[in-house]
Structure 1
Amino acid sequence: MDEYIRCLRAIVDARSKVFIVLDALDECTSGSDECEDRSLHKFLDVIFQLQVTGNVNLLATSRFIPDISKRFDAALVQEVRASSDDITSYVSTEVKLMGGKIKGDDELQAVIKKTILEAVDGMFLMARLYIQSLRACMMTKRKVKEALERFARQQFASDTNRTHRAYDEAVLRIDSQNKEYQITARHALLWITYAERPLTANELIHALAVEGGKPSFDEDNVAHIEDVVSVCAGLVALDDKSGIIRLVHYTAYEYFQGTRPDWFQKTHSDITSLCVTYLSYDIFTSDPEFSELPEFPGEFTPPRRTKAYHLYSYAAAYWGHHARRAGASAVDTCMIKFLDNAHQVKASWAALLAAQNAEGKWPYAMHNTQATGIHLASYFGIQEAVQRLLAKEGNANHDDGAENASENSEEFSSQALNVAMNFGQEGAAVRFIERGAGIHSNERRSHFVHSAAQHGMYLALERLLSLGADPNMVDRFLFPLRAAASRGCEKSVTLLLGRGCRIDDCDEISGTALKAAVKSNQTKIVELLLDHGADPNIGASYVASTPLWSAADIGHAEVVLPLIERGANINVIGDWGTPLSQAAAKGHADIVRILLDRGADIDLPDMRGNTPLCRAAGARHTEVIQLLLDRGAEISAVNHKGDSPLHMAAEVERLASFQPLLHRGAYFGATNKKRDSPLNWAARWGHIASYGPARSC
């Protein structure tokens, strides 16, 4: 979240006018996940702040959610509903296509249209669900009228209650079908509801055709997607353009995952079993094309023949995620047999790499020509499978078996512990460490201590340190404490400090742990490190910047005061000037105020002679320009080239940047060492049109 916010701020700062559209804010929160809710409100805080400090226009859409609506109390609100004409047109068309007692009965059709139009209250989804419900009871007028009475009674219920009742009826219609149709519908809804990503129609019909225990895929068992849709009682919809099949509405996902999870027996466990069966087909063992890997990770592409096996890529990329969610119940004999089959594991590993590459990820940490089942189970974090495989092998150090494997592991380490750590599977990582993996050489220990700190794996880090790993060991010039501080893992930072980690160790490029915490906006970690005596004036020599300078540069106002109060040099000069100069250049008015209030030198120039006012003027930050002038900044100060703040403002086309300078008496005819005036510069850069109105203000 913090990285996205920094990028957004940088984009806004670089533009004179910005339009932001936030669609479906209600889908950003579950209502029960406090972490998600906090992230949403933090994001909205940033957006609203950008509206204050920059020329930002905002359009947001959402269902009526009280917590979200309150955030927009001062905004213009337009309620959007399906028009009655649209709903009437849809219902009229669908009613005319109905058979049974409805067909040809104009009076009954009129009652249907009137009842549905009143009952749906502008919700197009409800109109669609009611039409599907009528199709199931159109054999007699009485059944139709009873359905219409139910619709009318539900009119005054909440939107959620109405949709859930409609879904209840759809489920009853599914269960009233013959056994084969019931099974097909349930399996289809299971896959669509719990898939890790949206499925294509071809993926779904292949998933439905998988038969447990069969060694090959039977094309004769594949259904038509139209038939699958028809038995699902209107609950699924096919997007003809993308080929994606989804539930009819996001509320249907909420219904099946929250209200009716009992309708499915094992969910993730069932999907795991079907995926493993698919990956275990003989074709993926016998055909070498499925397991070939290129030398360079960025060249991974799926084998051509996988196009005939539509579920293969999904199964390879996600079977383990389903297994991890299912827990121990998913780890059966079939899975262990699959993980013990070297050919099937290699083919699955290759498909997994191809899927990673297709998503724009270069899977260096996974690149291994002889991956084992333990590597695969470690990648997905399937702890029960890891435990059972370890018990069989009796050795946690599973290198790839190639000659000199330990020498090659530094670049493309395929050790199972490394895979587990790189992909955040702490439970699996701890199991390996407890069995002695990665602790028999200083090089390995330093790598894994840093990796555990970097990935926020407190338990893995604690195990490594308990087994004698040195908390001050450096892995490729990287320090564990710095990694934990950057990650924001308070427990890991406390653990490392308690084990004697040197708090002010500094590398030339990135600086100390304190600076890493500042750059990551980890306020609690900053205060924790300062409480333990971290020096706030140590910077990275490569960029000559202290933690305070970095906070001013990035815009992290929350950590500025703690640093100053613990002795940070407020006027330290780096390659790009003082913290005040950098905050002014980036337009961080809140930090400029804090620094000035704490005694920062308002006119202290950088190494090029630019004062904070010069840099603010050159970056078009009108609010900061006004603030500096109000606090007494020297308006005629010049840099080493003789350029004044007005010269700097003349380089950019923004009328608002000229106005405060000219109002305070800046002289437009003053020349620099090349005898250029701000007026000359404005003409040279094509900004004379902006300069003229500003002069006359």
Structure 2
Amino acid sequence: MKVLPEILSKLHEKHAAQLTQPSPEELENALIETSKSLSRVFIVLDGLDECQATLDCHTRLLSCLYNLQTKTQASILITSRPTSEVEIIFSGCLKQEIKAKASDVDKYVESRLPKVLGSGLETANLGAMIKSKVMGIVDGMFLLAQLYMDSLQDATSAAEVREALDEIEIQPSQNTEDGSYTPMLFKAYDKVMARISGQQPRSRNLAMKTLSWVVHAKRLLTTAELQHALAVRDTDTALDFQNVREIDMILSVCAGLITVGENSDCVRLAHETTQKYLESTAAKYFPNAQSEITSTCTAYLTFHGFDVLPVQSRLLRMTTERPLFPYAATYWGHHAREAGQCVSDSVNKLLRCNVSVQIACSKISSENDILNPNTTWNPLHLAAFFGLSRHVEALIDDGLDPNRVGDRNISPLMVASANGFEEVVNLLLNKGADIQAKCSGQRTALIFASLFGHGAIVRKLLVKGADVTAGPYTDMLAFDPASVPGYWDVVSLLAEALLKAGSTGSHGRYLMRLDGGIDRMTRMLLRWGAHMRHPPSMMASGSAPLDPTLGK
């Protein structure tokens, strides 16, 4: 009896050999096929509200679950705090509200009293006073109780406990639409940050750097990834393992604001509202977060140690011996783009190291395997992939050919078009990029922009003379219109351009067959002046084209 389904075994063999990660589409397909082989499937998704919104995580995850349930009839249970977004998404689903009882919070506060009242701090009624004040404000919210009890724990006398209690102003519940009790919580968080800022300089700096990473990371970090991220210093040319700190040390300086998952080994903030608070105060506490993270990632990718090894051997060693490497390679460019002009030196160093560029390209996680980033890409591909327009311009000015292609004949213009970076597309076109070039799959930059719903780039390429009849548009049939932002805007632009070009044949029929859009597309084409040569019944089936001749 096989332990793993065949589709998972093959997927593992494929990516283990290439030292790559499966694409979201591959994982979704494997999940669907595996579920089909089972008589019943139950899926539990805990903490949807904690799924990071960056890189469209919410949309992709929910789209995957929707497809899975549609194709396999799986039963899905999702837990989440009642945010407004979650309420809208699941408005038609069965719901069960779960709230903490006052007695549960009372037991929690009671369990914390011994530490607060230790070392002879107990005086008449002090414990009862603590419970009364804390219970009077938290209104059943465990996190608020935790924050206030934390604030009392470092008191060294009964007088200090009473002073801290006096600062806890009992006020009416002021919960926001998503139930986060923002005014009260933010005041409690202010006190926690004041405690962190009052530590010794080294402890304070470590805490701020830790919080900056956890808040701004594009995905959850493992403990090992965070430890290595915090070990990198500006002047390092190689990783100093003696600067890698124990995770308990890191947690201790952050005053309870970050935790490590019991089963996942991932570092996360204590609560979803902690993220909201730190994001809202980022300009105050982490003004240079993006540039500092970029510098750490690029330095990590260029560290000495495996320079003499072939690319594949170096990739294997870095993947297994450098925990931060996959994150740094995948996300450094996103941080660099958000940092703006503050990171030119560190980015330039990376882009001008050919081996580091090859290594970084081999680990990029793209939305799917259409672009296929790999070691054949040059620095221009890499800069275009992340939308780093200033660096794209600098590389071309230094002599790099904007039309130099990588594997599958993918050009930098195709990469920028697929990823939606209009400024980079404009720059490449002005620098002589071939707008009509095709990859080995016969896709042009126009097709790449269309596939990912980038209407502004589609419009720009059409204005610049892109051949709308070059096709193929069959790729678009594989997409769910609802999952591609701007999908119908793109279809509208393409259809109008095809009609103006007087194109007949398969392109018009493909656009007519797009899932769920027959009536919409028919009205669109007729509005532009196409003649209906067949009855509506044939049009609805997608079997008959419209006459593209414009005018009446």
Q: What TM-score does the superposition give when structure 2 sets the normalisation length?
A: 0.75
- In the alignment, the residues of structure 1 paired with residue 94 and residue 460 of structure 2 have an alpha-carbon distance, to the nearest angstrom, of 55
Residue 433 of structure 2 corresponds to 437
Residue 444 of structure 2 corresponds to 447
Residue 682 of structure 1 corresponds to none
Instruction: Tell whether 2:148 aligns with 1:135.
Output: no
- In the alignment, the residues of structure 2 paired with residue 448 and residue 231 of structure 1 have an alpha-carbon distance, to the nearest angstrom, of 50
Counterpart of 2:512 in structure 1: which amino acid?
L
Instruction: Tell whether 2:148 aligns with 1:148.
Output: no
Note the residue ranges of structure 1 that are not aligned, 5 or more in a row. Answer: 1-14, 294-300, 401-408, 540-544, 552-562, 568-697
Instruction: Tell whether 2:518 aligns with 1:501.
Output: no
Partner SS for 1:246: strand
- In the alignment, the residues of structure 1 paired with residue 480 and residue 468 of structure 2 have an alpha-carbon distance, to the nearest angstrom, of 14
Counterpart of 2:425 in structure 1: which amino acid?
A
Deviation at 1:325, TM superposition (A): 2.1
Counterpart of 1:435 in structure 2: which amino acid?
K
Contact persistence 2:458–2:490 (CA under 8 A): no
Instruction: Tell whether 2:545 aligns with 1:527.
Output: no
Question: Cα 1:67–1:246, aligned 2, differ >3 Å: closer, same or farther?
Answer: closer
Residue 470 of structure 2 corresponds to 473
Q: What TM-score does the superposition give when structure 1 sets the normalisation length?
A: 0.61
Residue 309 of structure 2 corresponds to 288
- Residue number among 88, 94, 97 corresponding to 2:115 in the alignment: 97
Give RMSD over aligned pairs.
Answer: 4.9
Deviation at 1:256, TM superposition (A): 1.2
- In the alignment, the residues of structure 2 paired with residue 341 and residue 56 of structure 1 have an alpha-carbon distance, to the nearest angstrom, of 48
* Structure of higher CA gyration radius: 1
- In the alignment, the residues of structure 2 paired with residue 186 and residue 492 of structure 1 have an alpha-carbon distance, to the nearest angstrom, of 47
- Residue number among 340, 362, 368 corresponding to 1:350 in the alignment: 362
Partner SS for 1:91: helix
Instruction: Tell whether 2:430 aligns with 1:413.
Output: no
Contact persistence 1:100–1:140 (CA under 8 A): no
- In the alignment, the residues of structure 2 paired with residue 66 and residue 501 of structure 1 have an alpha-carbon distance, to the nearest angstrom, of 46
After superposition, the C-alpha distances for 1:646-672 in whole angstroms (9 at most, x for unaligned) are: xxxxxxxxxxxxxxxxxxxxxxxxxxx
- In the alignment, the residues of structure 2 paired with residue 465 and residue 281 of structure 1 have an alpha-carbon distance, to the nearest angstrom, of 43
Partner SS for 1:283: coil
- In the alignment, the residues of structure 2 paired with residue 149 and residue 472 of structure 1 have an alpha-carbon distance, to the nearest angstrom, of 74
Contact persistence 2:204–2:253 (CA under 8 A): yes
Residue 206 of structure 1 corresponds to 228
- Residue number among 387, 399, 403 corresponding to 1:397 in the alignment: 403
Residue 333 of structure 1 corresponds to 345
Residue 513 of structure 1 corresponds to 511
Contact persistence 1:102–1:108 (CA under 8 A): no
Contact persistence 2:453–2:490 (CA under 8 A): no
Deviation at 1:212, TM superposition (A): 0.9
After superposition, the C-alpha distances for 1:347-388 in whole angstroms (9 at most, x for unaligned) are: 222333xx56xx9x546632343x321111112121221121
Deviation at 1:339, TM superposition (A): 0.2
Residue 161 of structure 1 corresponds to 183
Deviation at 1:307, TM superposition (A): 2.8
Structure 1 segment 156-235 matched on structure 2, within 5 A = 156-158=173-175, 159-235=181-257
Question: Cα 1:155–1:184, aligned 2, differ >3 Å: closer, same or farther?
Answer: farther
Deviation at 1:191, TM superposition (A): 0.4
- In the alignment, the residues of structure 2 paired with residue 176 and residue 536 of structure 1 have an alpha-carbon distance, to the nearest angstrom, of 78
Question: Taking CA–CA contacts closer than 8 Å with sequence separation of 6 or more, which of the two structures ends up with the larger relative contact order?
Answer: 2
Question: Cα 1:246–1:104, aligned 2, differ >3 Å: closer, same or farther?
Answer: same
Residue 382 of structure 2 corresponds to 376
Say how many residue pairs are matched: 503
Question: Cα 1:379–1:109, aligned 2, differ >3 Å: closer, same or farther?
Answer: same
Counterpart of 1:471 in structure 2: which amino acid?
V
Question: Cα 1:23–1:368, aligned 2, differ >3 Å: closer, same or farther?
Answer: closer
Residue 580 of structure 1 corresponds to none
Contact persistence 2:362–2:373 (CA under 8 A): no
Deviation at 1:245, TM superposition (A): 0.8
- In the alignment, the residues of structure 1 paired with residue 89 and residue 467 of structure 2 have an alpha-carbon distance, to the nearest angstrom, of 49
Residue 14 of structure 2 corresponds to none
Counterpart of 1:343 in structure 2: which amino acid?
V
Instruction: Tell whether 2:108 aligns with 1:126.
Output: no
Contact persistence 1:209–1:223 (CA under 8 A): yes
- In the alignment, the residues of structure 1 paired with residue 196 and residue 101 of structure 2 have an alpha-carbon distance, to the nearest angstrom, of 31
Deviation at 1:125, TM superposition (A): 0.8
